[in-house]
Amino acid sequence: MAGFSERYILTSPAHDEEPLNLDGFVAAPGVYDEGLLTVFGRSHTRSGLDPWRWLLGNEPLALAATALGNVFFWSERHRGVWFLEAQRGQSVFVGKTVTDLFEEFLTHDSIREKVLHLNFVEMLRSRLGGLSFHQCYIAEPWQVVGGSGAAETYSVGDREVYWHLVGQTVKQIFDARRAGVQR
């Protein structure tokens, strides 16, 4: 099977970012395949998940973001790579190493379609254009508050602002559920 560098094309390098090297795997920081995946460098790994520390703890390192604003992260506490689906506030274990994420997980056609939503993202890209380093496609209204997630509801927005706002909203929903309040 082809590896990460054969499956993904760096379409917009992040020249001001120093590559991250956790377990020997190094990918150039930047935007791949016009936004299908954005790989972070050192300056984004710690701060990228600040809005989600209430859920993920204090030590997660953001590794890469999807075009739809979801994120792959390293958890030191759980010694592995996880995938956070922002709209649901749920994380799923992906692999034991960063190399597993990039060289195994992300190279499978089924993952590119079912996790990265390749065909849907290509449809959005044809309508809205590609993404820059700090952007993602965002549905309005968000699915977490009842939005449909239909292609025509998406626009391009700032990923970090999105993570902050969705992180706060998901926390409020989770807190309300714990308190027995229905939304």
pLDDT of residue 69: 96
Match 């990265």 to its residue by tokens: 116
Q: To which H or E segment does residue 20 belong?
A: none
Q: Would you list the DSSP string of 30-59?
A: EEEGGGTEEE--HHHHTTTTGGGHHHH-S-
Q: Of 63, 94, 66, nearest to 80 (Cα)?
A: 94
pLDDT of residue 137: 98
pLDDT of residue 20: 84
Its pTM stands at 0.92
How many CA atoms lie within 13 Å of 38's alpha carbon, on the beta-carbon side?
A: 28
Contact 95, 105 (CB under 8 A): yes
DSSP state of 21: B
Contact 116, 32 (CB under 8 A): no
Q: From first to last of its 183 residues, what are the pLDDT tens digits of the chain? A: 789 999 999 999 998 888 988 888 888 999 999 999 999 998 777 667 888 888 988 788 999 999 999 999 999 888 899 999 999 899 999 999 999 999 999 999 999 999 999 999 999 999 999 999 999 999 999 988 999 999 999 999 999 999 999 999 999 999 998 888 665
Q: Of 73, 64, 72, 61, nearest to 27 (Cα)?
A: 64
Q: Write out the E strands in 105-175.
A: 135-139, 154-158
Domain boundaries, the chain: 4-178
pLDDT of residue 119: 98
